[in-house]
């Protein structure tokens, strides 16, 4: 883990400026979640509106929404593709994201243009630098 101010950044993941993370799995699918910084900014999560399995998303599209006591926030797709699985545990226990944002993934995407789109995402080191600039 990299410390960036009060937030932790998990190494080996890719990040967006909107604070989503993307983990490339061995089978080529991509797990998506929100960063430690994002969950701290939101506060205690009360609800996660999971995307529908089968939904086609383009990079930057709204993937789903998370709701906290402070605000409702959109989660954006870091890559284009098809949602092939969602983390149903979050429907009953959205606080899992607050407890461990890098373990509590939201959706699994079968990417359609991964190599090209990875170029636009930040490494953990770059994301930590980005957080320090906020």
pLDDT tens for residues 39-58?
999 999 999 999 999 999 99
Would you say residue 98 has pLDDT above 90?
yes
Which pLDDT value is given to residue 71? 87
* pLDDT value of residue 70: 84
Q: Cβ of 76: how many Cβ atoms within 10 Å?
A: 18
Is pTM, for the whole model, over 0.75?
yes
- Going through the chain in order, the beta strands assigned E by DSSP cover 2-4, 7-9, 14-15, 20-24, 30-34, 45-49, 56-57, 62-68, 72-76, 81-86, 107-111
Confidence band of 28 (pLDDT split at 50, 70, 90): very high
Collapsed DSSP state (helix, strand, coil) of residue 46: strand
What's the angle, vertex CA 52, arms to CA 9 and CA 82, rounded to 5?
70
Q: For residue 21, is pLDDT > 90?
A: yes
The pLDDT value given to residue 77: 98
Average pLDDT in the chain? 97
Task: State the Cα angle at 119 between 114 and 120, rounded to 5°.
Answer: 100
């Amino acid at each position: 883990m990299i410390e960036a101010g009060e937030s932790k950044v998990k190494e080996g993941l890719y990040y967006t400026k909107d604070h989503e993370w993307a983990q490339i799995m061995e089978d080529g699918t991509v797990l998506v979640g929100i960063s430690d910084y994002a969950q701290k900014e939101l506060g205690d999560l009360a609800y996660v509106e999971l995307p529908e399995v089968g939904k086609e998303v383009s990079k930057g599209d709204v993937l789903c929404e998370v709701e906290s006591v402070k605000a409702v926030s959109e989660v954006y797709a870091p890559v284009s593709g098809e949602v092939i699985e969602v983390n149903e545990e979050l429907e009953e226990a959205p606080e899992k994201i607050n407890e461990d944002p890098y373990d509590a993934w939201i959706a699994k995407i079968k990417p359609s243009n991964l190599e090209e789109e990875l170029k636009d995402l930040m490494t953990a080191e770059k994301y930590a630098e980005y957080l320090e600039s906020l």
